Structure 1
Amino acid sequence: MESLSTGDPQVKPLAQRLYGAALGAIMKHLSDHGSGTISELAEISGVSRPTAQRALAELAQLGLVEESAQRPATSGRPARAWAPVVGTRTVLVADIQPARTRVQLSCLTGRVVAEHTIDHAALRADPTAADLPRRILEQVQALRAGSELATGSLVEAVIGVSGVVSSDGAVLLSSRVPELTGIPLAALAREVLGLEAVLVENDMNLRAVGELHSGVGQGASSFIYLTNHEFHRPAMVLDGALWHGAHRAAGERDILARTGLISLSLTHDGREVPYFAAAGLIESGQLGPEWIDVLNAQLAAVIAVLCYPLDPELVIVDGGPRTTGAEAITDLQSRLRALTPGLGSPAWSPGVTRRT
């Protein structure tokens, strides 16, 4: 992760980020080594014993760890030890895209149990497949049934879609996957998967939530999450919570491009390429590194427009290693400051970083 943060560090956000990192380090150590004492876990995570105890208590509440047999000590009382809970608990994640659905079953410890890609073309070509959402979910259920998972181990299904999603998980509008529009997807998933805990959310919002809870957005009071390689559908976190807007359509439909506020093409040395394809072409080597400057010139303008009404603490840009590496992020930050002269000092300009 390459990160550039502007402004003086604030104690509370920094402490929250460190605590989030400690939770991850503790869980990884227990998963890799089977057990650990509070002293060991405090040392490997870089926090105090009381903080390590608090982290263990939270992980125990989530059902991830439990106190195990005490370790004998050379002197004094035996040391308390902790270990992962026996038995695999998993989460199913399905990302429904226009041409395919990517499915992943993962343990709560982070281990991926199974992955699969469902081709929508094959489902659409079947004349009996009038209900694409149901057919997708039936294939998801087949993947789940064919995995190594024990019955009852799945604790939640999380489904990401491109579009506007109601609070009860119905897809109000999906221009990229029109078959989803009007479908009560959460209710349908509960029926097909036989699982009560189902969350359906906009795909970009889910990415932002991931950054908020376990990525570079930990502890940030507000941030914007967007990509540099597809239509700008920014997700926003305000006051530590995901912002959906009055109609739950915040950041959706790529209004910036539709209104003409940004150009749909980039030009350099007489060559013209689609704006939203440029980052991918740079990453693949089909465009040279000089195109990063061209890409960043427009991306900085997009970020400046988004930051103008929101004044976020952080902007998280999702992209590949070439277009969101340290040098590219430094250039993007510099361009953003130049576009916001009234807010361009380090004390006011938002931090810009790449996603984890």
Structure 2
Amino acid sequence: MQQISSAATPHLVRTLNANRLLQYAWDTEAFTATDAIQETGLTRSTVLSVCADLVERGWLHELDDARAAGQYSLGRPARRYAFRADAGAFVGVDSGQHRVTARITDLRGTELARMSREIRGALDTAPDRLLMTESTVDAALAAAAVTADAVLAIVLGVPAPTDADGASPEGADGFWPRMNPGFAEKFAHRGWRVIVENDANLAAIAEGAVGAGVGFSSFVSLLAGERFGMGIIADGMLVRGAHGAAGELHLLDYVQGVGSADGLARLARTWAGEARAAGLLAGTALETASEAEDVFAAAQAGDTEALVITARLALLLARVCVVIGGMLDAESIIIGGAVAPAAAALLDATALHLAEFSHGPAPALIASPLGGDAVGLGAIYRGLALVRSDPLAFALATS
């Protein structure tokens, strides 16, 4: 690696050199100037000068020298430095249809605290959703003992398309504005960098970073709980579309045998309710059950009516996946969301239907190992990528 040319302006040279060294420090533990020289290609004088500047700004701290640390005993002791992961924080929010979860992490993405609250009934209005999300974030910050001025960025995942400014369109039924009731403007008033992103897009980011998408250059993350929504990774890049709606699946309203974007969890509850009303569940494990997970558990135990429901779900999911696979030529479709662990039992039957329906190679179906954490994790990784792209544009509260 070559040092930045001196033909550039001195300020630009210093900034580029500082960014290069900071990226190295971010991914390593304690290091000496010699270590940094070998990894960055910078000169010793540049490394020492940049390290001093980053210490002053709060990004690094100087440790005991190598002799004091017991690494060697002869010669002049080398200075040792380490990245300050505690110098700032990220906030990642999964603002789902029925639950809002906020997590706080340090600058390496290590979770410090998490807070979650239900959104039900009368509270499911745009103003109440906004207030509850704010209070959940504040409670998580308090639990993490992180002050508001330490937050560098907040990323919020919502079940709605979002544009570059974090706003969602009106839509036909008012659902999208209720799910995203002005989050970008509200949190920007705190002086934080704010990103509001579609939840399936964030789930796709998480799958590519630490989930079932690792090693795949092109895949789809299909959130399948209350509503179907997909995040698309093509050639390693997130596909958002002109208005942020590339992963919206309202087209399922027109797919024979599907008919709506209702997801597996909602359909499992609905179909169990219909069977109960028809008197089919008397004396079964589902007679008083109310959650989708109960349906899947009963099917695993061999309950006849639960098996009927899960067979219907497997067929419907195959129809959804053949549409996605046919449009996108996806290498794999990762079934995600909180329902993923329970729905994993559907995938063998779904794959059989999918092979029958597909005109070409069928995409592989994989249950997400991240489950209900995917959106929140994706929010953290998105915030981390934002700050790492230009870290010196952010002022640390400790500097």
Give the TM-score normalised by the residue count of structure 2: 0.58
The answer to whether the Cα contact below 8 Å between 2:341 and 2:368 also exists between their aligned partners in 1 is: no
Higher normalized strand content (fraction of residues)? 1
Three-state SS of the structure 1 residue aligned to 2:157 is strand
Corresponding residue of 1:214:
210
Q: CA deviation at 1:297?
A: 2.7
Corresponding residue of 1:298:
316
The answer to whether structure 1 residue 171 and structure 2 residue 165 are counterparts is: no
Q: CA deviation at 1:225?
A: 1.2
Three-state SS of the structure 2 residue aligned to 1:234 is strand
Q: CA deviation at 1:114?
A: 3.6
Matches within 5 A, 1:142-181: 142-143=138-139, 146-147=142-143, 148-173=145-170, 175=173, 177=175, 180=178
Distance 1:301 1:75, change over 3 A: farther
CA distance, structure 2, for counterparts of residue 169 and residue 254 of structure 1: 20
Distance 1:260 1:242, change over 3 A: same
The answer to whether structure 1 residue 241 and structure 2 residue 237 are counterparts is: yes
Corresponding residue of 1:17:
none
Matches within 5 A, 1:322-337: 322-324=342-344, 328-337=346-355
Matches within 5 A, 1:46-65: none
The answer to whether the Cα contact below 8 Å between 2:252 and 2:259 also exists between their aligned partners in 1 is: no
The answer to whether the Cα contact below 8 Å between 1:99 and 1:121 also exists between their aligned partners in 2 is: no
Distance 1:74 1:273, change over 3 A: farther
CA distance, structure 2, for counterparts of residue 211 and residue 92 of structure 1: 19
Corresponding residue of 1:190:
188
Distance 1:231 1:297, change over 3 A: same
Corresponding residue of 2:381:
none
Q: CA deviation at 1:296?
A: 2.3
Higher normalized helix content (fraction of residues)? 2
- Count residues with an aligned counterpart: 292
CA distance, structure 1, for counterparts of residue 355 and residue 90 of structure 2: 41
Corresponding residue of 1:339:
357
Distance 1:186 1:322, change over 3 A: closer
AA paired with 2:293? G
Matches within 5 A, 1:239-278: 239-252=235-248, 254-257=250-253, 259-262=255-258, 272=275
The answer to whether the Cα contact below 8 Å between 2:97 and 2:179 also exists between their aligned partners in 1 is: no
AA paired with 1:185? F
CA distance, structure 1, for counterparts of residue 71 and residue 256 of structure 2: 70
Q: CA deviation at 1:317?
A: 0.9
Q: CA RMSD in A?
A: 4.5
Distance 1:273 1:169, change over 3 A: farther
Q: CA deviation at 1:311?
A: 0.4
AA paired with 1:321? P
Larger radius of gyration: 2
Q: CA deviation at 1:79?
A: 10
Three-state SS of the structure 2 residue aligned to 1:167 is coil
Percent identity over the alignment?
Answer: 21
Corresponding residue of 2:334:
316
Distance 1:241 1:66, change over 3 A: farther
Q: CA deviation at 1:200?
A: 0.3
Task: For structure 2, list consecutive stretches of 5 or more residues without a partner in the other structure.
Answer: 1-25, 41-50, 261-266, 278-289, 370-399
Q: CA deviation at 1:85?
A: 2.0
Corresponding residue of 2:112:
112
CA distance, structure 1, for counterparts of residue 122 and residue 276 of structure 2: 31
The answer to whether structure 1 residue 98 and structure 2 residue 87 are counterparts is: no
Distance 1:150 1:311, change over 3 A: same
Q: CA deviation at 1:201?
A: 0.9
Q: CA deviation at 1:115?
A: 1.2
Corresponding residue of 1:3:
none
Distance 1:296 1:88, change over 3 A: farther
The farther-off stretch of 316-325 and 204-213 is 316-325
CA distance, structure 1, for counterparts of residue 366 and residue 80 of structure 2: 37
Match of 2:196 among 195, 200, 203: 200
Q: CA deviation at 1:196?
A: 3.0
Matches within 5 A, 1:225-236: 225-236=221-232
CA distance, structure 2, for counterparts of residue 230 and residue 182 of structure 1: 16
Deviations 1:281-323 (A, max 9, x none): 4344377454555432331222111111210122111244343
Deviations 1:122-165 (A, max 9, x none): 6569xxxx844552454246425634114532121111112221
The answer to whether structure 1 residue 351 and structure 2 residue 364 are counterparts is: yes
CA distance, structure 2, for counterparts of residue 220 and residue 354 of structure 1: 15
AA paired with 1:205? N
Deviations 1:59-99 (A, max 9, x none): x99x9887855354479999998755262532212222334
Deviations 1:34-60 (A, max 9, x none): x5789xxxxxxxxxx99xx69xxxxx9
CA distance, structure 2, for counterparts of residue 183 and residue 164 of structure 1: 13
Three-state SS of the structure 1 residue aligned to 2:103 is strand
Q: CA deviation at 1:179?
A: 5.0
